[in-house]
Structure 1
């Protein structure tokens, strides 16, 4: 792919577009959230999950990572388990399920009458072989410096302490918490014209974790353009595809603040 192909949004069917425009083993990372279980009305569009999964596997480079943000529909008290069905299919076609992460929502209005409030989605980390990139995000530890810490007990059952160094930072866990809504998900009001957006910080955290500057990040169902925006702001190249021209226009408006006007592909 030539450089002119990058950092643009394309309106069209993701499977057809990838098959005709994106070579095999050419993308470093995929970050997307599919329209699972018909939870939202995406202008009447649906998606062919199996075909998209195969195309993602084809276009990813060896060592590339696909982040798949997905949840389950709850109907009549019964979960669809669509999320795990997706994960098992990705595994079946050759992906490693490198991690199962949790996107926990700090604020959610959706209460259930006979169960605890559902406040999370899954973030499956699928890798094509061993991930070639992992830049672990860090967080401050509660204590740091030299401290007497309990060592392994011996046969006498006594606690022995040794002097050890507590680090100032530690790698984050695989449960990530984000506020949602205006000011949490994003400050871009136009983004909420799309029925389902995920936090910009979530996108940035994954992009920083699984890719490097100059890498190519693909979102084949880019919706309001969050993945593309955060890829660009973090010096990655992006390719954004969505079947809805209306959603492409929303994403375009968000990106134009940073990139200026660029042309789009039409079916």
Structure 2
């Protein structure tokens, strides 16, 4: 993540999520402590980070507060890095990074988590860039979503030719998450076996394991929906995660394919 940030000596960086202070220490060593700003929401962690950093001789700018708000009075920054997972990139944070500056953050959505984005702030105030692999972090507190109601109804068994293991690539998870907003996926892998659950947060669900019928619950046929999404994904050539990208504007977020630049969803 620090490599993706592409920092140079003297650059000013805002970190969201100080935690133990380790990343702030690395940035201070590389850039000079006067150029490092770091925010931590949890008071105990903020105090721990300050103690760790001061004990090792680093004195970056530290704040106990909500990272979603950023540090507007110290903006603009050259770079921004988040070490907590975001559901979306708040445009409020984009506005605190100069044009041409880089934002690196892990995203966590309902269908997938751990996709790492590297965004460049554009002249029009938007930010866009590719998915750069994965990195899993605890979600930002204000970006966590409550659990929906339990799955309802009797199981409806259906035949399926879709092996649930095909759903577990990050490329498909990003695509399906964009095409099926509000649907979450949970899986468990036991050797060559994979069990997949889908839930829509409104009481519908689906379950499947390899070489078995799928089972659907509630009003929505979730397994049928994910089969359609997989057919679309396969028709696009089953793109890997690094073919996807994200654009952030004041109006929302767009998940897109870099080639041919097709927007998958606006959210």
Q: TM-score, normalising length from structure 2?
A: 0.32
Greater strand content:
2
User: TM-score by structure 1 length?
Assistant: 0.32
**Relative contact order, CA 8 A, sep 6+: which one is greater?**
1
